[in-house]
Amino acid sequence: MKKTLILIIVMFALFGCSSNKISKNMPVEKKMEIADELFEKEKYSKAIPYYTEVVFERNSAYTPIAQMKLADCYFNQNKFTEARFEYEELIRLFSDYQDIGRAYFQLGVCYYNDSLSPHYTQNETNRAISSFETFIEKFPFDSLKKEAIEYIQKCRYKLLMKSYYNGFAYYKLYDYSGALMYFDEIIALGNNNEPDRMSLFYATKIYLARDDFEKAKLTGQKLISRYPQTEEAEKITSELEKIK
């Protein structure tokens, strides 16, 4: 009885393995049909082998479509590094593909999603900006242009936060010159946001610590006028009152 049961299990296992294999003789049209059906059902992992097989068919009209769908499969699984590689392959091999603009755009999104928080290095953030700028340059009338600009703005804000954290790190180490280098760069932009507010706050505190009351008043007043109802403005107002 045991032998029979084992034999049945082995047969099912063999059948399962053989059914998962893609026949080399299967027409490319059939591979695409199966892949697209799996893609529509959001079974991306199962669709990948079929799209990969079609990609290897370099002379097929389906190849660039499969290349894009292969990249999209990885993207939809949040595997942005793998997706990035496949979008880059599409750009490299099929530059005249009708939907090539979206590949450039998706490349930027992949870099953005792979980027680290502002506390860490921002290589991917810078590459995302470069990718989106390339997309806008090459496809200035594309419907995704507005979204690309929004991504660039988010990336630049992230870089601003990185500069602020760099300045704050120097501040905590009592390296006030190093801290001001970052804070002054942010303040000079004249934005109205968190990195600007916090840079004004800590720059004022540095000038107070140095007994440089004139600069403390200048930066302090900027903070108070731009962000009057904030905790930082209240603290600096109190500090400036002591000077009087």
What is the tally of structural domains in the chain?
3
Q: What is the pLDDT of residue 22?
A: 75
Q: What is the pLDDT of residue 152?
A: 98
Q: 145 in a domain, yes or no?
A: yes
Q: Does residue 233 sit in the same domain as residue 183?
A: yes
Q: Average per-residue pLDDT in the chain?
A: 91
Gap between the Cα atoms of 50 and 47, Å rounded: 6
Q: What is the 3 state secondary structure string of 33-101?
A: HHHHHHHHCCCHHHHHHHHHHHHCCCCCCCHHHHHHHHHHHHHHCCCHHHHHHHHHHHHHHCCCCCCHH
**Structural domain range at position 121:** 99-161
Q: What is the pLDDT of residue 16?
A: 42
Q: What is the pLDDT of residue 3?
A: 46
Q: Does residue 141 sit in the same domain as residue 183?
A: no
- Which residues of the chain carry a pLDDT beneath 70? 1-21, 23, 244
Q: What is the pLDDT of residue 57?
A: 84
Q: What is the pLDDT of residue 167?
A: 98
Express each pLDDT in 112-121 by its tens digit: 999 999 999 9
Nearest 5°: the CA angle 100, 104, 107 is 130
Q: Does residue 182 sit in the same domain as residue 243?
A: yes
Q: 84 in a domain, yes or no?
A: yes
Q: Does residue 34 sit in the same domain as residue 80?
A: yes
Q: Does residue 60 sit in the same domain as residue 108?
A: no
